[in-house]
Structure 1
Amino acid sequence: MSSHQEDQNTISTKRSHSFLTAIKSVFATIGVISVVLFVIFVGIISISIYSFSSGIKTFSSSMGGASSSAKTGLTFTTPNTSSPYIAGIRLYGEITPENSALVIEKLETARDDKHVVGILFDVNSPGGSVVPSQEIYDTIKEITKVKPVVTYVREVAASGAYYSSASSSKIIANRGSIIGSIGVIMNGFEADKLIQFLKINPFVIKTGALKDTGSPTRPMNEKDKQYLQELIEETRMQFVDDVKQGRKTSDATMKFMSDGRVVLGPQALNLKLIDIIGTKQTAISELVTLAKVKITPDVFYYDDIQSFSELFAQKFAGSTNNIIRDSFSENFKNTKLQNKIPKAEY
């Protein structure tokens, strides 16, 4: 009897094990299918957004009196008007070869548009790459020969941003605006000790002692430092010379600013780095005076045309950021740290 009962228990155990194995297999299969379907769904949505974006992009650019990018070939809006107007062009954020090329394209478009009486150059930038800053400077310099260009510094016009603006007809800044940072900086790092720790043996075959200057695979010697210092000093002198030419500043001012410092609006005015302390409306009024028009025309900004996918990504990122920020703020309010951390606001 006991042997028979043991056999039945064994059979029952095997059946239970088989049943559990089958259940696991079913759930595993469902999981795999769910993942595959989700990936396919996301892929379809992405393709749909990408396909639809070009149509939305063209449609959106034709709204509100702006000319269509399909007709003009531009990636920004321009007004569909026969009346005189002021072209607003923004220089926001870090200056890179990509965004500077778009800024220059906008400047040249405004220059060639017979309805544009002048350009409002709206700046809020900490600077950026050397050559793009010089290219914007040169473009504005040429445009001022035929049309006035007035720069309005919203918050910051530092380093390359100030360089870009220095050839404007006039520079207007708020009293709290940050101006200056006339200088050049070069960053790098040495990773030779880390490479040695990882037992990696890099090799370099070069035709000159300075060919691999700045390479992180070896420590920088005094000859390298002297070479790079001379290089950025020459770049700084180009900066200084162009600012002096564009702003008619004194040698004393450039010497004072040569350590890379920034100053606020009132001091910038005293140093003749700017022309007037005021608001955007002040800049517009100065532009109207320089353009010699009796009635102040409308200001039309050449805004970038964003595709539907870009707008969707921005909205999604913004919503996610707000959720995280609000959640953090709510939790932070419940702690005593809030009263212990100093906070400065203006």
Structure 2
Amino acid sequence: MHRRMVQSSLRGLSLLQVRHVKPVGFDAARDGVAQVYRELERDFGVLAPPIALHSPAFGPLAASWLMLREPMLVAGVAARTTKEAVAAAVSVANECPFCIRMHSAMLHSLAPGKDSAAIREGRLDQVADPAVRAVADWVRDGAVRDTAAKTRFPFAAEQVPELLGSVVIMHYLNRMVNVFLGAMPLPPGAPESSLRPVMKVLTWLLRSAARAEPKAGGTLGLLPAAALPADLAWAASNPQIAAAFARAAAAVELAGRAALPDGVRELVLDTVDAWDGRPPGLGRGWADAAVETRPAEERPAARLALLTALAAYTVDETVVDAARAAGADDEALIGITAWASLTAARAVGAWMYQPE
């Protein structure tokens, strides 16, 4: 009962953190949205803002939940400690302060010591646990295409779907979080002094949910079955993770097609294909130049998509407001950013997949 009371008290605070779009309220949620919200509290521990922010668009909402739940929350052959190290290291690579705080705190709660701080601060050579250091190095090197090509998995092959799945979902969520959430897991205006007690409560909820050991494949019914795309071949040896990512990819693709013209999606795909994983340039001038090839009415959405994919930390209200002024509502904003985020995340996962 105590856990449920705490979860209930945090629902409004979780949704207050979302900016640019209006998430569906817990009590107003129906059908699939209500199911995702209930499952978040049951299996993750809290109505997590990085997932709930997707609620104006059900397909991306369900997709983000499936991609998070199956590789990271379901107990498998990789330790949760290793997965949290992956999540923290990816978040550092993507400059996502919200996710860095959350996942380094969870890592510290699972493995007390200085390793979580070393990852959080980018001091990977000072990580004491050799297994954690190896996976953090793998994440760092894998974020860039040319170094990824020279990097091999520092773990058993059977762990690939869980750990590479954790990489891909975090590359995805980091982008969405940088666009739609602030730097700290607090509502706007909350004093920074409240962060420590809030984090203590959140990590307690997350750990209590982890002890319940969510069952593999338990939420796949949220989305229809789909074929696994070739670039997600790393998931194939785990049927539940493969099904989750196949269904999620199909749902996000539908949302992207609904929100973006074909020419804009082709522009983003071509740009990501040529991207090496490094920051594309200072400021946003590179994106402004790229969208000049599109008709004027398509440029705001194209700019939002490109920035979300390759430099989500540069997206601000001017970028979002321009897309909204060009006709994008809340559902379309989620569709644009989810599609762009997953396009980039899938690219990283593909170049990190180095089968023997």
Q: Same fold (TM over 0.5)?
A: no
Higher-helix-fraction structure:
2
TM-score category of the 2 structures, normalised to the smaller one: under 0.3
Q: Which has the higher strand share?
A: 1
Larger Rg: 1
- Give the TM-score, by structure 2 length: 0.25
